[in-house]
Structure 1
Amino acid sequence: MDNLTSALARTRYISLTTFRKDGTPVATPVWVAGESGVLYVWTNAESWKVKRIRRDGRVTVTPCDARGGPRKGAPTIEGRATVLDEDGLRFVRKLLARKYTWQFWLTDLPATLVRRGRRPHVGIKIEISST
């Protein structure tokens, strides 16, 4: 993993910015994990960010706090996002569970119980653009 991707993967949150059809940026704070030079996030399959990524995979990422506020002096990096299939989701869940431990399970388990085992989530793969 290159230094930049590795640094992003170590942060607690990134602001993931996707783009509407008219080009308007929409930023959302998300948990992030990294593996082999790629960033991964996990989100609800019906979220608008997933719909925007399916239409246009162009994204930017910035280290941020839990509310999405960028960290002081943090760079904004361009990348390409792809929505993953079921196998990809399992892989992303393992990465996030390893990084966030009990917090991940505290978030995932109640939703799974309420939905009777169904997990309406997707994994998103983010490849950082070379500069």
Structure 2
Amino acid sequence: MSVPGEIAASKQISLTTFRKDGTPVPTAVWHVAAGNTVTTVSAADAGKVKRIRRNPEVEIVACDIRGKVTPGAQPVRGTAVLLPPTETETARRLLERRYLSARIGGGLSRLLRIKRPPGIGIVITL
């Protein structure tokens, strides 16, 4: 299954992970869609990363920057994989190509040698 057009075209997606008791936890994230995968990056110590380690089943849907789901958007289930540090940097670069803010922030941190907080790439396969 390839990434639906509404998800690929949206600036943000709502990435829903699940707690131990099954409670859904949605989070708005930037993403890059390619083929049947969606890639994003998160802080390594974020709750969503901890939940993905325990349960890789996730759900994504198009949303706005505040996480409000686009009317009529259909959620899609997928399986998330956490990337090793070498591939996380590649995922950051993908996001920088798509988002100006990420490009500016990433460029400045490299130029000024500012150490970023540890991050981790997430690839969701639909």
TM-score of the aligned structures, taking structure 2 as reference length: 0.88
Overall identity of the aligned pairs, in %: 38
Shift of 1:10: 2.4
What's the counterpart of residue 127 of structure 1? 125
Distance 1:87 1:19, change over 3 A: same
SS in 2 for 1:94: helix
Distance 1:23 1:112, change over 3 A: farther
| Superposed structure 1 runs of 4+ greater than 6 Å apart | 110-115
Where structure 1 has 5 or more consecutive residues not aligned to the other structure, the ranges are: none
Contact 2:96 2:106 in 1 (8 A): no
- For residues 51-62 of structure 1, the aligned pairs below 5 Å read 51-62=50-61
TM-score by length of 1: 0.84
Q: Structure 2: state its 5+ residue gaps.
A: none
* Inter-CA distance 49–110: structure 2 relative to 1 (3 Å threshold): farther
The aligned counterpart of 1:2 is 2
Over the aligned positions, Cα root-mean-square deviation in angstroms equals 2.3
The equivalent residue for 1:105 is: 103
1:77 is displaced (CA, Å) by 0.6
**2:31 corresponds to:** 32
